[in-house]
Amino acid sequence: MAPSTSIPTFHAALATSPRILCLLGAGLSASSGLPTFRGKGGFWRNHDATVLATPEAFAADPGLVWQFYAHRRHMALNARPNPAHYALAKLGGKRGGDLMVLSQNVDGLSPRAGQPESTIRYLHGSLFDVKCVGENCGHSEKDNFKDPLCPALEILPNFSVPKDNEPRYTVKAEDLPRCPKCKTNILRPGVTWFGEALPEGMLEDADKWIDKGKVDLMLLIGTSAAVWPAAGYIEMARGAGARIAVVNMVAPGDPGRVGFKDEDWVFEGDAAKLVPEMLRPAIGEVYVRGDSAQ
């Protein structure tokens, strides 16, 4: 089956599609200068990002993993939402409860673009949440934007491109941020690593939204749809009647193992350019000026 590449037919469908589900991935923020996980951008120093984003890597070398996250916190704080973030935020303002955005991104750019909280769920947590590693302590902090989080995690000018591709310095466990509650354990990033349960309530909210009725459209924006349970929502949306529109730099042969239908769409290119264009009839133009948009 061959999906369409026609924006006008997508616009026609958008006008008659009340309930929209979106799955966002790292490609959404690529134009904001943040690297993706897989493919070319998926390495930090000489480490595979998908290996660093694991409890095993943190247990083996918390200093290294914290440096990875300190670097990403710094980059995300210095990045700006792009027109696609703003377009989705505007759609949230217009559609309210008829829109459900499931974001796999942890960079904070969707909230900074003004995405209404009720329209988005952050399946993989946030770079700006931190929590105690101790299972019994329970301490957690939301929206901790301190940069650097502690002196040992300061970003040095040569941090991102070391000539020999090896760490210039290592951070000892005793210099890592400590839990202010139990004062014993170190803190860890409040993100979801492989093998960990997603933040409480996320899947329940997403499931409840789907169970409310027909899903008219599902937009897959800048994601490889390789990670579960996030990717499982594609099949659920299909089961609830959704037509699928993929926005990706590289069009996949199959969106999340459900196969394309003639009634679906594939838009190949940069999400920052395509998403505002796709949503224009519903939200109008997106004008980005500095740190805000209209």
Site residues for ligand BJW per CB under 6 A: 25-27, 30-31, 36-38, 42, 50, 53, 104, 106, 124, 191-197, 222-224, 226-229, 247-250, 270-271
Minimum gap (Å) between residue 262 Cβ and ligand BJW? 23
Minimum gap (Å) between residue 266 Cβ and ligand BJW? 12
Closer to ligand BJW at the Cβ: 98 or 219? 219
Q: Is 124 a catalytic residue?
A: yes
Find residue 244's DSSP bridge partners.
Answer: 218
Closer to ligand BJW at the Cβ: 110 or 192? 192
Minimum gap (Å) between residue 222 Cβ and ligand BJW? 4
Pick the catalytic residue: 47, 74, 85, 124?
A: 124
Closer to ligand BJW at the Cβ: 114 or 252? 252
Find residue 130's DSSP bridge partners.
Answer: 141, 189
Q: Which residue's beta carbon is nearest to the bound ligand BJW?
A: 27
Closer to ligand BJW at the Cβ: 20 or 53? 53
Report, as residue numbers or ranges, the catalytic residues: 124
